[in-house]
Amino acid sequence: MVTLNVGKTDRIEMDNMVITMKWNSSFSLRVSALLAAACILFTGCGQQPSASSKPDSLDSIASFSEGLETVSSGLAASDSSLTESNPSQAPVSEPPSTSKPSGATSPSSPQTNSQVSIVSKPDNSTVLYGEHFFDDAVFVGDSVSLKLKYYAMKQRKDGFHTLGDAQFLVSGSLGSGNSLMPVTSDSVHPTYQGQKMTLDESICKSGANKVFLMLGMNDIGLYGVDKAMENLDTLINQIRAKSPHASIYLQSVTPMLKGMEKTKLNNTTIQAYNKRLSAYCEAKGYTDVDVASSMMDPDGYLIAEFCSDPESMGIHFTDLACSVWVDTLNSLV
């Protein structure tokens, strides 16, 4: 079966494949006609795949992608305006709601040429678009990022390839400052393959080509913004010394729930840190990933529905928040 929805986002569903295209609404129905023709052509006019065929076959995807390039070039000739829109406590139980609450901001990405995302859909499972971008990534962070790990692992267990094959080096109370301290039995350094080690060493051993860091929540109140940034710079220099090939992605520190701010750790100091983080990324050539904006209500606080510990710390996330976080990361693809 082929389903084609015409509009700002077109989603084509076949028996084992899902294709998502995003474009400007100025496109006419001739776009849909071309795509429908392409789908019929490449699916053998609705022929069912054999029992031995694999939904995620690389040959099938490559062949299908080739055909889509032909169709895409025809679309480009008709209209060239295609665009793509695009710390220490474990979180408590998650709410059942999966809808996005009012006040949440959708992640956006720069306009680019049209992109077609092909995802395998074996049985009732789904692979999120662009997931292969994260196959060689490692996420480094504190208990906020630890929740992201739990979320991704649960999604993968349920059949979703969330954040691809990305690895996680996360630990409660981790910060740039204490990550620079010696490894001891009491230190908060994350373990890699069962062994506790410094971040530069574990990242090197992981073989990651993309390093996503979210650190600062456990540094700002303790060291202040200036020293926290200094510690982060030292840490990144250590990482790059052992992994010079790796690209650095710095994620902004996320906001706190209203009423949970402290004297030195609060949304004002967090925003000051994030502003410095953005300037640092620009100066060093690193990628600034603005996660914080997607988590803020209109007053700059953590969106209430996104907080899993509203009675204690007011910083940790629900599954809903993690889904928005993943959307923000996917906008990089």
- Interatomic CA distance for residues 308 and 322, integer angstroms: 11
Please say whether the beta carbons of 316 and 308 come within 8 A. yes
DSSP bridge partners of 191 = 196
How far apart are the C-alpha atoms of 144 and 155, rounded to whole Å?
17
Question: Residue 17: which of 68, 83, 85, 84 has the closest Cα?
Answer: 68
Q: How does pLDDT run along the chain (333 residues), one tens digit per residue?
A: 433 333 334 444 444 444 444 444 333 334 344 444 444 444 443 343 333 333 333 343 344 344 434 434 443 443 333 233 333 333 333 333 334 444 443 333 333 332 323 333 333 444 444 658 999 999 999 999 999 999 999 999 999 999 999 999 999 999 999 999 999 999 999 999 999 999 999 999 999 999 999 999 999 999 999 999 999 999 999 999 999 999 999 999 999 999 999 999 999 999 999 999 999 999 999 999 999 999 999 999 999 999 999 999 999 999 999 999 999 999 988
- CB of 39 closer than 8 Å to CB of 49: no
pTM value? Answer: 0.64
Q: Please report, for residues 19, 230, 264, the alpha-carbon distance to residue 202 in angstroms, rounded to integers and kept in the order given.
A: 37, 21, 31
Residue of 234, 223, 248 whose CA lies nearest to 198: 234
